[in-house]
């Protein structure tokens, strides 16, 4: 399973943990709420099951736990724990399929207990940039497929669009369905993320999509999108 956001992946496999870093932050709970809102758009039945205060790397932290169906279609639990140090928020993202809850707890607890913040950060080292197109997408439902005259619910439905982002500037619109990138079929939102992440800022990708012009007319379009940089 891929990490859920920009950061450093610690564990590979069905049970995972990654770290997300946000500068200019002071409120751990506010950071968690923002991350949860971002991730929750890609899950179904995403809801909070527990929240509270804890300790991470010897410092007071906040946490929230959620359950739902992740982008891969698996019933899973997600935990976000945030500690703020020197104006920088560190979010430990961990999760596991609910069917593997028993075996996942020990390794994820060990990660939480061994989590340590760097004491010295190289200010002169620029933050790595990740490619972005400036959209949020989700998987299609069977009802969506029927509406867009598709044989199967494949593709990625655009549910949020940064109007100043690369995709919008190239002509992509809200509620477009992305069907392929550079001629390779996109079967869902998770695959779309993987394809974009395999590129670098400045790359130009060819996006094949379909768009509903009215209730009875769906048109196909091809756009060239120059990937932007996301340093968050």
CATH number, domain of 94, equals: 3.40.1000.10
- Tell which wins on pLDDT, 200 or 3: 200
Distance CA 119, CA 112 (A): 18
pTM value is 0.50
Beta-bridge partners for 11: 17
| Whether 81 and 135 share a structural domain | no
Identify the pLDDT of residue 231.
57
In this structure, of 121-125, 154-158, 226-230, the range with the lowest mean pLDDT score is 121-125
In a domain, 159, yes or no: yes
Give all strands of the β-sheet with 75-85 in edge-to-edge order.
Answer: 8-11, 16-23, 88-97, 75-85, 59-69, 44-56
Identify the pLDDT of residue 213.
87
Q: Give percent above pLDDT 90 in the chain.
A: 52
Residue 122 has pLDDT above 50, yes or no: no
In a domain, 85, yes or no: yes
Distance CA 42, CA 95 (A): 15
Question: Could you report the per-residue pLDDT of 137-151, keeping only the tens digit for each?
Answer: 999 999 999 999 999
* 112: Cα within 13 Å, side-chain hemisphere: 20
Distance CA 105, CA 112 (A): 10
- Taking alpha carbons only, the member of 19, 31, 117, 43 closest to residue 11 is 19
* 159: Cα within 13 Å, side-chain hemisphere: 16
Distance CA 94, CA 75 (A): 14
Identify the pLDDT of residue 6.
41
In this structure, of 45-49, 104-108, 164-168, the range with the lowest mean pLDDT score is 104-108
* CATH number reported for the structural domain that contains residue 147 in this entry: 2.30.42.10
In a domain, 174, yes or no: yes
* 205: Cα within 13 Å, side-chain hemisphere: 25
- Tell which wins on pLDDT, 223 or 100: 223
In a domain, 123, yes or no: no
Query: Which residue segment(s) compose the domain that 221 sits in?
Result: 130-230
Identify the pLDDT of residue 15.
65
Identify the pLDDT of residue 179.
96
Distance CA 134, CA 122 (A): 29
Question: Could you report the per-residue pLDDT of 195-219, keeping only the tens digit for each?
Answer: 998 999 999 999 999 999 887 799 9
SS3 content of the chain, % helix, strand, coil (to 5): 20, 45, 35
Residue range 124-135: mean pLDDT, rounded: 74
Out of 59, 87, 114, a domain closes at: 114
Which tokens is 109 given? 């607890």
Beta-bridge partners for 139: 156
Number of neighbouring beta carbons within 10 Å of residue 168: 18
| Whether 99 and 147 share a structural domain | no
In a domain, 70, yes or no: yes
Domain count across the chain: 2
| Whether 134 and 206 share a structural domain | yes
Q: Give percent above pLDDT 70 in the chain.
A: 87
Question: Could you report the per-residue pLDDT of 12-65, keeping only the tens digit for each?
Answer: 455 667 888 888 889 999 999 999 998 888 899 999 999 999 888 888 999 999
Residue range 215-227: mean pLDDT, rounded: 92
Terminal alpha carbon distance of the chain: 21
| Whether 103 and 38 share a structural domain | yes
| Whether 105 and 15 share a structural domain | yes
């Amino acid at each position: 399973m891929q990490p859920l956001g920009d950061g450093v992946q610690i564990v590979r496999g069905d049970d995972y943990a990654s770290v997300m870093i946000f500068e200019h932050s002071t409120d751990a709970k506010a950071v968690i709420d923002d991350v949860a809102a971002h991730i929750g758009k890609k899950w179904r039945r995403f809801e909070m099951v527990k929240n509270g205060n804890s300790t991470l790397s010897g410092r007071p932290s906040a946490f929230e736990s959620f359950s739902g169906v992740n982008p891969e279609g698996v019933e899973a639990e997600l935990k976000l724990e945030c500690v703020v140090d020197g104006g920088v928020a560190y979010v430990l993202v961990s999760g596991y399929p609910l069917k593997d809850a028993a075996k996942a707890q020990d390794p994820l607890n060990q990660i939480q207990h061994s989590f340590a913040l760097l004491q010295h950060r190289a200010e002169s080292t620029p933050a790595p940039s990740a490619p972005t197109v400036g959209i949020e997408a989700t998987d299609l439902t069977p009802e969506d497929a029927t509406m867009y005259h598709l044989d199967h619910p494949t593709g990625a439905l655009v549910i949020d669009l940064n109007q100043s982002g690369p995709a919008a500037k190239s002509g992509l619109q809200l509620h477009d369905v992305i069907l392929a990138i550079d001629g390779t079929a996109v079967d869902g939102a998770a695959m779309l993320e993987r394809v974009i992440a395999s590129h670098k800022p400045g790359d130009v990708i060819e996006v094949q999509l379909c768009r509903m012009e009215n209730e009875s007319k769906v048109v196909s379009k091809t756009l060239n999108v120059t990937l932007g940089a996301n340093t968050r």
